[in-house]
Amino acid sequence: MASCDDDFSLLDDHQNPDSTQPSATIQTPPFSVNPYDQDSDPFDSEPDPSSRSGKRAAERDEISNGVSKRTRLHSASSSAGDYRKDREEWSDTAIACLLEAYTDKFVQLNRGNLRGRDWEEVAATVSERCDKQSKSVEQCKNKVDNLKKRYKLERHRLSNGGLPASHWPWFQQMEQIVGNSIAAKAAADEEKNSPVKSPVTICGDIHGQFHDLAELFKIGGKCPDTNYLFMGDYVDRGYYSVETVTLLVALKVRYPQRITILRGNHESRQITQVYGFYDECLRKYGNANIWKIFTDLFDYFPLTALVESEIFCLHGGLSPSIETLDNIRNFDRVQEVPHEGPMCDLLWSDPDDRCGWGISPRGAGYTFGQDISEQFNHANNLKLIARAHQLVMEGFNWAHDQKVVTIFSAPNYCYRCGNMASILEVDDCQGHTFIQFDPAPRRGEPDVTRRTPDYFL
């Protein structure tokens, strides 16, 4: 029976995704250049005590004569003049050119540090685009640093003042450079086995179906009134991947204790270049900057969560390399999803009717039988494994004598599969209630010229 899934199928239907795209290198966030560092004065040292004493006396005489006062006034005037000079030297056009050149280089380096040669290219670009305003490397560094400081002040003002938006003209562009670290911090703060308290509503794949995500919140309750745990695959396939993942990340930043967002196999650079998210970003923004920002952010998403130490939640399935939850805590999740190994298995594996471990027809991860899930649950004192990753026509499917459940939350997947969606409500006593729902009314979708690859075997 053919499925309506790309790299994941109806239960018992499998296929191999194309995952030949090269992985990207992960860079550390850029450091700030401090324009105020100054070399020490070589004439500060005064070895002769009598000379120091004489110098202090001379300084007192100068103060009495008003000389030092004039010097300080001159210094203050000079600082104000420097500020006015900076304003005069950097027109709005020049700042726009600088931010565009800096952002291009910053994203090209996967949000890594700009080095000497990089800054030279930025300065050359700014000078070329602004005919009458040639800029040096030092000027560009200082200006970017000052813009970062202003952005942080604006962000602090918005947070403390309860203001809806900033009127500073460069706020949105600086948000792309500096602001993403706020979302990354919110995701990175999650532990490797994120502890989640009940009651909580557990959700499966969304896949860019933004209107259906809105329907999910309508049925399950608004955040933060309802606690949510999403198990990955927010992008690809649907027409609104950008809007979908933006909403979920915004909720995570605003209500970090009320929503948990795990990583799915589609939250990767390789898969999103094939199944739609990359092309959507190009179509909507004209470049790959937004795609790069989000795929960098995906590296920080936790892989698993634990509800009241009883329900183990993840996107895919188990791994032969992982026997206990402590094994998950011991490896580094902040990376692109590898082609093999325990991290890959957690995002790609599927339960199977056959016992033991099997080679997955997907080309990544494994299949695991009831004996494997029972052994894992027993070793870790678990009652249930909740996962997503596979299309199921009723929205949920029990497996392995109700030790494993698959949840799928994208109704009428790909706008043509005809399946229902579901969410799992876990109450205070860890009781389970499934809520099924149909797709939201379609309003008309954008034209997509490039059709994403078919995924049937």
Task: Please say if the pLDDT value at position 42 is more than 60.
Answer: no
Secondary element (H or E) of residue 193:
strand 193-196
Q: Closest Cα partner for 33 from 141, 128, 129, 120?
A: 141
Specify the residue for token string 């210094």: 75
Would you tell me how many other CB atoms lie within 10 Å of the CB of residue 134? 13
Confidence of residue 280 (pLDDT cuts 50, 70, 90): very high
Strands of 259-261's sheet in order across: 259-261, 228-230, 200-203, 421-426, 432-437
Rounded Cα gap, residues 418 and 4, in angstroms: 9
State the pLDDT at residue 21: 39
Q: Rg of the chain over CA atoms, in angstroms?
A: 28
Three-point CA angle 108, 347, 229, nearest 5°? 95
State the pLDDT at residue 284: 95
Residues that are catalytic: 266
The dihedral through the CA atoms of 367, 373, 379, 380 has a sign that is positive
Rounded Cα gap, residues 387 and 350, in angstroms: 9
Contacts 24+ apart (CB under 8 A), 427-430: 427/198, 427/199, 428/198, 428/199, 429/198, 430/198, 430/307, 430/308, 430/310, 430/311, 430/383
251 near 229, Cβ under 8 Å? no
Q: How many CA atoms lie within 13 A of 269 on its CB side?
A: 21
Confidence of residue 26 (pLDDT cuts 50, 70, 90): very low
Q: What is the pTM of this model?
A: 0.63
Residue 452, C-beta contacts closer than 8 angstroms, at least 6 positions apart:
6, 236, 237, 274, 275, 276, 279
Task: Please say if the pLDDT value at position 6 is more than 60.
Answer: no
State the pLDDT at residue 83: 45
State the pLDDT at residue 73: 43
Pairing of strands 396-399, 366-368: unpaired
Q: Domain extents for the chain?
A: 63-162+172-180, 184-437
Q: Can you tell me the mean pLDDT for 207-225?
A: 96
pLDDT in tens, 103-115: 888 877 766 678 8
pLDDT in tens, 392-425: 999 999 999 999 999 999 999 999 999 999 999 9
Rounded Cα gap, residues 272 and 277, in angstroms: 5
pLDDT in tens, 57-95: 444 444 444 444 444 444 444 444 444 455 557 888 889
Would you tell me how many other CB atoms lie within 10 Å of the CB of residue 7? 23
DSSP state letters, 274-303: TSSHHHHHHHHHSSSHHHHHHHHHHTTS-S
Residue 300, C-beta contacts closer than 8 angstroms, at least 6 positions apart:
184, 187, 188, 334
Confidence of residue 52 (pLDDT cuts 50, 70, 90): very low
Residue 428, C-beta contacts closer than 8 angstroms, at least 6 positions apart:
198, 199
Architecture of domain 184-437: 4-Layer Sandwich (3.60)
* Helix locations, 27-164, DSSP H: 49-64, 67-89, 92-108, 116-129, 137-161
Rounded Cα gap, residues 129 and 116, in angstroms: 20
The more confident residue out of 178 and 359 is 359
